[in-house]
Amino acid sequence: MTDPISASTTPPVNQTPVQPQHVPYIAPVAPAKSYAGVFSLIWLFIILLVVAVGASAVFAWRYMETQQQLISSLREQVEQNALTLETKQQALEDDFEKELVEQQNNVQANLNDLAEQLDSNNARLLSLSSVNRDEWKLQEAQYLLRLADQRILLEKDSQNALALALSADDVLREIDEADLMGVRKLLTEEIAVLKLAGVIDREGIFLRLSALSTQVDGIPFIEPLGQEQDLLAEEPIPEDETFKQKITRHFYALLHKLGSYVRVRDHGKTINAVLPPDEQKFLQQNLRLMLEQAQVALLRNEKGIYQESLVKAQNWINQYYALNEKAKAVLEELQSLQQEEISPELTNFSNSASALADYIAKREKMAAARRGVRQ
């Protein structure tokens, strides 16, 4: 903007120049107070508020993600445990079937060997002209003792082995030879030891475990606190109720109502865990698998695995199930099964069989010497 004094027109040449007048100095007026500082503080507060809200959202999102990962990890762990148990169960079943097939093959091979030996012995006895009835009985007793040994070593069957040994002793008693007293003494001692071992009812124990496996789904789990309601049974009010009886009835109803608001707990006892529905199904399946594992151990004569399986089943029921009458009955049955002896120490008949074989060989040598045949 041009100064009005300095912007005046130039005087004509012939005129006398006019002297400029003195103008007093006017100071510039100060501008109004600026609100820029206030606006800056407001914007700073808004920015801090937005940052705080964003940080809270990020923290909440990370917390939810961590909880979700923890839940997923626990679920995967439960599923992995169930899969591991199923894999172990399948491996046990495969091993049991494989071992059973091998034992059957071994038994069949032994039976074939015994049949061939029996045929050979029969052929040799028939070829001898001096064969008498006692020699037949000696061969029969030897064969029975071999079968009894087979039942003990391969099948762990004390009942059949005992019956075969008693039959062999009856045969030796019919021979009535004084030289057989040593053989019969050894055989009697082995029979006595086998009788003390007792008879194992494996079929009965197996069926008892199967019956328990079917009752697993019927045992209720522990319910969360607050779901159990104690309801006072409503009794019919008699028509001729007196005033005193009415006061007594209302008094007991009031006591029951007040008692429903008070719950007494023993904090010295361990609080059992309450499982969600999904994990309850896994626990029922694992409990059945544990009972089936005990069955396989029973058939395979593995006492340690059998006892451990029953103990685990009892611990799971005590920890996760409501201990009502049905659960207590199952626990009593498991304890009874745990006390069953499935792997007693069984003796074999090697001593008596060896003594009988020596007696038969000595007898044959004596017979050959009498016939003049050099053995």
pLDDT tens track for 59-101: 889 888 888 888 988 988 898 888 889 888 888 888 888 888 9
Asked if the structure places residue 8 within a domain, the reply is no
Whose tokens are 């006591």? That residue is 255
Same domain, yes or no, for 164 and 288? no
Q: What is the pLDDT of residue 153?
A: 77
Same domain, yes or no, for 294 and 207? yes
Asked if the structure places residue 366 within a domain, the reply is yes
- CA-closest candidate to residue 352, choices 147, 189, 152: 189
- Residue 321, phi then psi, degrees to nearest 5: -110, 150
Query: What value does the mean pLDDT take over residues 202-219?
Result: 84
Same domain, yes or no, for 312 and 181? no
Same domain, yes or no, for 282 and 363? no
Same domain, yes or no, for 286 and 364? no
pLDDT digits (tens, 9 = 90+) for 233-261: 455 677 777 777 778 877 777 776 666 55
| Alpha-helical regions (H) of the chain | 36-127, 133-150, 158-175, 181-197, 202-214, 243-259, 277-299, 303-320, 325-338, 350-371
Asked if the structure places residue 356 within a domain, the reply is yes
Same domain, yes or no, for 206 and 281? yes
pLDDT digits (tens, 9 = 90+) for 256-299: 666 655 555 444 445 555 667 777 788 888 888 988 998 888 88
Q: Which is more confidently placed, 178 or 228?
A: 178
* Cβ atoms of residues 323 and 222 within 8 Å: no
Give the confidence band of 37 by pLDDT, cuts at 50, 70, 90: confident
Same domain, yes or no, for 193 and 288? no
Asked if the structure places residue 312 within a domain, the reply is yes
Contacts of 89 (CB under 8 A, 6+ apart): 289, 292, 293, 296
Same domain, yes or no, for 294 and 215? yes
Same domain, yes or no, for 186 and 315? no
Asked if the structure places residue 350 within a domain, the reply is yes
Instruction: Count the domains in the chain.
Output: 2
* Cβ atoms of residues 329 and 141 within 8 Å: no
- Residue 301, phi then psi, degrees to nearest 5: 60, 40
Segments forming the whole domain that contains residue 307: 201-222+275-343
Same domain, yes or no, for 138 and 195? yes
Q: What are the residues facing 321 on neighbouring strands? A: 221
Q: Is the model's pLDDT at 201 over the cut of 50?
A: yes
